[in-house]
Amino acid sequence: METKGRILVVDDEEIVRISCQRILTPMGYAVETTPDGVKALELMGRNKYDLVLTDLKMPHMDGMEVMAEIRKREPEAKVIIITGYSTIEVAVKAIKMGAFNYIEKPFSPDVLITAVKEALGEHA
Amino acid sequence: MVKFRKSIHSLAGKLILTVGTLMTIGSLLLGYFFITYERKIMIKNIQNYGLSSSDLIKRAIHYGMLTGQKEVIQQNIDVISMEKGIDYIRIYNPEGKIVYASNRMEIGKAPYSPSEFRKIIEAREVSGLISSGGDKILRYTVPIYNEPRCFTSQCHYHEKDQQVLGVLESAFATSEVDYILQQNRITTLLLIGLFIFGISVFLCVILYHFVSKPVAFLEAGMKRIAKGDLDSTIDIHTKDEMGLLATTFNSMTKDLKRYRENMENWTRSLEAEVKRKTNEIMRAQEELLNAEKLASLGRMAAGVAHELNSPLTGVVTFAHLLKSRTSLEDKQAQEDLQVIIDQANRCSRIIKGLLGFSRRAGFEMVEINVNDLLDNTISLVRNQARFHNIRFDIRLAPSLPLILADPNQLQQVFLNLVINAADAMNEKGVITIATRVLRTDGELLEIEITDNGPGIPEDMIGRIFEPFFTTKPVGKGTGLGLSVSYGIIKRHGGDIVVKSAPGQGASLFIRIPAQRKKTEEQA
């Protein structure tokens, strides 16, 4: 199946995972989800993803650690941080550590789609 | 005894003792010299008297001797010896035998040895004091010389070549003189005693008036001052050292009083200063406590925010999904879904506002018109069930100056206060909302929200801004509304003032400086 890109969503909240899936799938992306960072890295060992959307605060492993690991293993994969606990400092830190972008919860479908398109290099 | 010792150690006592002792010694010496001198004069007088008496006796018996009338001589001696003060008269022949005597029993006796008698004759005139059976007597012996008349007289009793015919001895008692001297001595001593006593009394009186009395005055004054009575003065107006001392003392008292007053003033101002500082510290402590409360509130809000943002993401996402599937012609459905999306986003902003409590960043300061924001707020709540029986009395001042504020935060405050007012009235009554410009120092905008509910009890007015303080039934209020509002207004540089009386409703006045140019992000 031809897809616009393969996306992994990492968030401990099911509603966020479902939301991302319901927004991005109709747009033609292959979306997979996982509730924690450890499992995300397992999945990345098996599959290749173009983009990872990850929450910051999660059990076992937080989003910053997940991102650092992804940057090491798959330098080509883009990472967008999604968080409900936003401060300018956190955003700056995330970008410095290599995040492509930064989205605050709750986000509207348009914000998410725009960010994903930018990350995957699509031009509307 | 103690009193005596005390008075002897006093200034006056010492002076009296010294002067008295000197005077007594001086007087006694003077008296001694006076008495000795007087005695010398008296003895000299007696000697002269004795000599002249001896001469008188010699002349008295002269005739008898010339005529050889022995009986006449004896009679003359008898008469003269009766004179007061004459003890005895004797006439000796050249051999030393008594030939005539005032005491006739002595005639024929020879009381002196021949050698003693020769000495008497050779001395020609002997006088001196001798003792005679206890009494002192003055004895004179006068030789009777041969004269031409003697050997030319009819009796021819004596030869021409006989030089000494006999010796006249007369004795005078000194007891009279001694008595007078004794009397004089007693009188002198009495006078000295009287003099010393008189001088002492005089000295006592003088010293009492000029020393003891002023000293006692000074002492009493000092005691009064020692007890703290600095208004008392010492009334000694003499021109001597005591007067000078009293004047100096009074001026010292005056100085002391001035110093004490200064000290008291200083103490009072110090007390006021301490009180002021204490109040400041208490206020600072209160603010610190408030800040601490707000910080813990912020921590709690941060936790809640994280939990709420995810479900809100679901709400927003699915509202959008539903909206995109709903026919554009079903305008009502489109609008309803948009309300869901807007309100979910507002929830998110409120949460962010709460997060901002614990952080000092994150305000979106824009120029806003408070009246518009209030209108907006009222239209938001007006349709809610709890406001169905509430009438709004809106009195907004026209042409208000714009203020720099975060509209979401400010609306949050208005909502909190309006909902509180409705709850306070049991959702029935009148809420007055008014705006005005207060011109105190710089322009100050005031927003008044008043209810006509039961009012706030006096003891609770100070606590209503405390986090988690609520009078609402359990489960209905979180006790955060007013606290959060207070924090928001404070961060806008404003203040909330509460005025309430039991039974007369409550008024909350939000005061925000108008035309604030600096935003909170810069703070």
Selecting from A85, A88, A108 the residue whose C-beta is nearest the C-beta of B306 gives A85
Residue B324 belongs to some domain of the structure: no
User: What confidence score (pLDDT) does residue A9 get?
Assistant: 95
How far apart, in whole angstroms, are the C-alpha atoms of residue B175 and residue B85?
9
Q: Is there a contact between A108 and B316 if contact means CB atoms under 8 Å apart?
A: yes
Same domain, B471 and B517: yes
Alpha carbon B67 to chain centroid, angstroms: 109
Using an 8 Å Cβ cutoff, are B93 and B108 in contact? no
- The chain-wide mean pLDDT, for chain A, equals 87
Q: Among residues B438, B408, B432, which one has the least CA distance to residue B520?
A: B408
Selecting from B307, B348, B361 the residue whose C-beta is nearest the C-beta of A106 gives B348
Q: Is there a contact between A15 and B313 if contact means CB atoms under 8 Å apart?
A: yes
Q: Is A105 on the interface with B (CB under 8 A)?
A: yes
* Average pLDDT, 10 consecutive residues per value, chain B (523 residues): 64 81 87 86 79 81 79 86 84 88 89 84 63 67 76 62 80 78 86 87 86 85 86 83 87 91 94 92 80 70 76 92 91 92 83 59 76 86 81 89 85 87 88 87 85 86 73 57 82 87 90 63 37
Using an 8 Å Cβ cutoff, are A118 and A98 in contact? no
Q: Is A13 on the interface with B (CB under 8 A)?
A: yes
Q: Is A57 on the interface with B (CB under 8 A)?
A: yes
Same domain, B141 and B190: no
Residue A124 belongs to some domain of the structure: no
Alpha carbon B125 to chain centroid, angstroms: 89
Angle between helix B241-325 and A14-24 (nearest 10)? 50
Residue A51 belongs to some domain of the structure: yes
Residue B413 belongs to some domain of the structure: yes
Show which residues on chain B lie within 8 Å of chain A, measured between beta carbons.
302, 305-318, 320-321, 341, 344-345, 348, 352, 355, 359, 361-362
- ipTM for this model: 0.85
User: What confidence score (pLDDT) does residue B213 get?
Assistant: 85
CA-based nearest distance A54→chain B, Å: 13
Selecting from B310, B348, B359 the residue whose C-beta is nearest the C-beta of A15 gives B310
Q: Looking at the 3D structure of chain B, how many domains does it have?
A: 3
Q: Among residues B237, B232, B208, which one has the least CA distance to residue B221?
A: B232
Using an 8 Å Cβ cutoff, are B177 and B136 in contact? no
Residue A1 belongs to some domain of the structure: no
Same domain, B385 and B450: yes
Same domain, B446 and B505: yes
Residue B321 belongs to some domain of the structure: no
| Stretch (H or E) spanning B14 | helix B11-60
Selecting from B302, B345, B361 the residue whose C-beta is nearest the C-beta of A85 gives B302
How far apart, in whole angstroms, are the C-alpha atoms of residue B233 and residue B285?
52
Selecting from B312, B359, B361 the residue whose C-beta is nearest the C-beta of A105 gives B312
Closest-CA residue in chain B for A103? Answer: B313
Residue B316 belongs to some domain of the structure: no
Boundaries of domain holding B182: 1-60+174-227
Same domain, B104 and B186: no
Residue A75 belongs to some domain of the structure: yes
* Tens digit of each residue's pLDDT (9 = 90 or more) over A49-103: 999 999 988 888 888 899 999 988 888 899 999 887 666 667 778 888 888 988 8
Selecting from A19, A85, A86 the residue whose C-beta is nearest the C-beta of B313 gives A19
Closest-CA residue in chain A for B359? Answer: A87
Q: Is A23 on the interface with B (CB under 8 A)?
A: yes
Closest-CA residue in chain B for A87? Answer: B362
CA-based nearest distance B320→chain A, Å: 7
Distance (Å) of CA B484 to CA B287, B433, B447, B490, B494: 15, 20, 17, 10, 14
CATH number at residue A113: 3.40.50.2300
Q: Among residues B140, B171, B178, which one has the least CA distance to residue B38?
A: B178
How far apart, in whole angstroms, are the C-alpha atoms of residue B148 and residue A60?
183
Q: Is there a contact between B310 and A105 if contact means CB atoms under 8 Å apart?
A: yes
User: What confidence score (pLDDT) does residue B519 get?
Assistant: 39
Using an 8 Å Cβ cutoff, are B233 and B217 in contact? no
Q: Among residues A55, A85, A90, A59, which one has the least CA distance to residue B305?
A: A85
Same domain, B8 and B94: no
Residue B403 belongs to some domain of the structure: yes
Burial of B306 (0-12, 13-18, 19+ CB in 10 A): buried
Q: Is A21 on the interface with B (CB under 8 A)?
A: no
User: What confidence score (pLDDT) does residue B518 get?
Assistant: 41
Residue B234 belongs to some domain of the structure: no
Residue B475 belongs to some domain of the structure: yes
Residue B1 belongs to some domain of the structure: yes
Annotate B91-106 with b (16+ C-beta within 10 A) or e (fewer): bbebebebebbbeeee
User: What confidence score (pLDDT) does residue B510 get?
Assistant: 94
Among B156, B173, B190, the domain-final residue is: B173
Q: How far apart are the first and last CA of chain A?
A: 22
**Which of A22, A105, A108, A110 is the best substitution to test chain B (most B C-beta atoms within 10 A)?**
A105
CATH number at residue B103: 3.30.450.20
Same domain, B179 and B43: yes
Q: Is there a contact between B309 and A105 if contact means CB atoms under 8 Å apart?
A: yes
What is the DSSP annotation of B148-164?
Answer: HHHHHSTT--S-TT--E
Q: Looking at the 3D structure of chain A, how many domains does it have?
A: 1
Boundaries of domain holding A70: 6-119
Q: Is A16 on the interface with B (CB under 8 A)?
A: yes
| Stretch (H or E) spanning A8 | strand A6-10
Same domain, B54 and B107: no
Q: Is there a contact between B361 and A84 if contact means CB atoms under 8 Å apart?
A: no
Same domain, B19 and B146: no
Residue A65 belongs to some domain of the structure: yes
Chain A residues whose CB is inside 8 A of the B345 CB are: 106
How far apart, in whole angstroms, are the C-alpha atoms of residue B146 and residue B166?
9
Name B445's Cβ contacts closer than 8 Å, sequence gap at least 6.
Answer: B370, B400, B401, B403, B435, B436, B437, B438, B511, B512, B513, B514
- Enter the tokens of residue A30: 């292959």
How far apart, in whole angstroms, are the C-alpha atoms of residue B422 and residue B168?
162
User: What confidence score (pLDDT) does residue B4 get?
Assistant: 61
Residue A106 belongs to some domain of the structure: yes
Sign of CA dihedral A54, A60, A62, A67: negative
DSSP class of residue B390 equals: E
Same domain, B507 and B397: yes
Q: Is A33 on the interface with B (CB under 8 A)?
A: no
User: What confidence score (pLDDT) does residue B1 get?
Assistant: 55
Residues recorded for chain B: 523
Using an 8 Å Cβ cutoff, are A55 and A63 in contact? yes
Residue A11 belongs to some domain of the structure: yes
- Enter the tokens of residue B45: 């007088």
Residue A25 belongs to some domain of the structure: yes
What does R_g of chain B's alpha carbons equal in angstroms? 70
Same domain, B165 and B180: no
Same domain, B136 and B5: no
Angle between helix B241-325 and A109-119 (nearest 10)? 80
